Chains A and B, each alone.
Chain A
Amino acid sequence: MTDLTPPPLLAVQNLRKYFPTQRQNPFQRNAAPHLLHAVDDVSFTLEAGESVGLVGESGCGKSTLVRLLTRLLDPTGGAIRFEGKDLAQIPARRFARHPLRSHIQLVFQDPHDSLNPRHTAFDTIAAPLCQLGGFQPSALLKARVAELAELVGLPEPLLSRFPHQLSGGQKARVGIARAIALHPKLLILDEPTSALDVSVQAVILQLLADLQARLGMSYLFVSHDLNVVRLLCDRIIVMYLGQIIEMGPTAAIFDHPRHPYTQALIAAIPDPTQPPQALQLQGEPRSPIDPAPQVCRLYGRCPQGVAQCQEAMPLLAPMGEQHWAACHFSGQSFTHSHSAG
Chain B
Amino acid sequence: MIHSKKIIRTVETQTLLRVEDLALEFRTRSGTVQALDQVSFSLAMGETVGLVGESGSGKSVLALAILGILDRAAEVTKGAIALQGIDLLKIPRAELRQKRGKEMAMIFQNPRVALNPIRQVGKQLEDVLAVHQRGPKQGRRDRALALLSQVRIPDPERRYHAYPYELSGGMCQRVMIALALAANPKVLIADEPTTGLDVTTQAAVMGLIRDLGQQGEMGTILITHDLDLAAQYCDRLLVMHAGHIVEAAPTAQILRQPCHPYTTKLIAATPDPHKTLGELLPIAGHLPDLRGDLPPCRFRSRCDRPLPECDRPPLIRQTITPGHTVACHHPLTPEVQP
Contacts and interface: CB of A to CB of B under 8 A. Distances in A.
Interface in A48-85: 55-59, 63
B168 A202 contact: no
A272 B280 contact: no
A224 B197 contact: yes
A3 interface: no
A270 B196 contact: no
A198 to B, nearest CB: 4
Contact of B199 (A24, A200, A265, A285): A265
A170 B55 contact: yes
B273 A230 contact: yes
B199 to A, nearest CB: 4
A21 B158 contact: yes
Contact of A268 (B54, B155, B202): B202
Contacts of A226: 199
A268 B158 CA distance: 28
A185 B8 CA distance: 65
B55 A224 contact: no
Contacts of A232: 277
Interface string B255-281: 100000000011001111101111011
Contact of A205 (B155, B168, B280, B283): B280
Contacts of B7: none
B168 A58 contact: yes
A279 B200 contact: yes
B271 A279 contact: no
Interface centre among B56, B167, B281, B286, by most chain A C-beta atoms within 10 angstroms, is: B56
Nearest to A275: B232
A114 B266 CA distance: 29
Given A202-B280, A270-B231, A287-B158, A196 B55 contact: yes
Contacts, number: 169
A169 interface: yes
Given A63-B168, A199-B269, A231 B276 contact: yes
A279 B204 contact: yes
Interface string B151-175: 0101100100100001111110110
Contacts of A264: 200
A40 to B, nearest CB: 15
A199 B266 contact: yes
Interface in B94-151: 109-110, 112-113, 149
Interface in A135-149: none
Interface stretch (A105-113, A121-129, A174-182): A105-113
Interface in A204-241: 205-206, 209, 224-228, 230-232
Contacts of A19: 166
Interface residues of B, number: 60
A59 B232 contact: no
B280 A59 contact: no
Nearest to A113: B112
A271 B78 CA distance: 39
Interface centre among B168, B197, B266, by most chain A C-beta atoms within 10 angstroms, is: B168
Contacts of A169: 55-56
B227 interface: yes
B307 interface: no
A206 B281 CA distance: 10
B235 to A, nearest CB: 12
B55 A205 contact: no
A252 to B, nearest CB: 15
A271 B255 CA distance: 12
Interface in B228-254: 228-229, 231-233
Given A59-B171, A195-B195, A196-B225, A228 B55 contact: no
Given A281-B200, A287-B154, A194 B232 contact: no
Interface in A251-304: 264-265, 268-272, 274-277, 279-281, 284-289
Contacts of B199: 224, 226, 265, 268-270
Interface residues of A, number: 62
A202 B282 contact: yes
Given A202-B282, A265-B199, A276 B168 contact: no
A286 B196 contact: no
Nearest to A284: B154
A102 B152 CA distance: 39
A277 B283 contact: no
A69 B329 CA distance: 54
A168 interface: yes
B309 interface: no
Contacts of B210: 276
A155 interface: yes
Contact of A202 (B158, B169, B281): B281
Contacts of B168: 58-59, 63
Contacts of B110: 110, 112, 168
A269 B171 CA distance: 20
B198 interface: yes
Given A168-B55, A268-B202, 5 more contacts: A55-B198, A197-B55, A270-B231, A276-B203, A276-B210
Interface of B: 53-56, 109-110, 112-113, 149, 152, 154-155, 158, 161, 166-171, 173-174, 195-204, 206-207, 210, 225-229, 231-233, 255, 265-266, 269-273, 275-278, 280-283, 286
21 contacts: A59-B167, A112-B112, A113-B112, A155-B286, A167-B55, A196-B55, A197-B53, A197-B54, A202-B281, A206-B277, A224-B199, A227-B273, A231-B277, A231-B280, A270-B226, A272-B231, A276-B203, A276-B206, A276-B232, A279-B200, A285-B152
- Which 3 residue pairs of A and B lie closest in terms of their CB atoms, listed nearest first? A58-B170, A169-B55, A272-B231
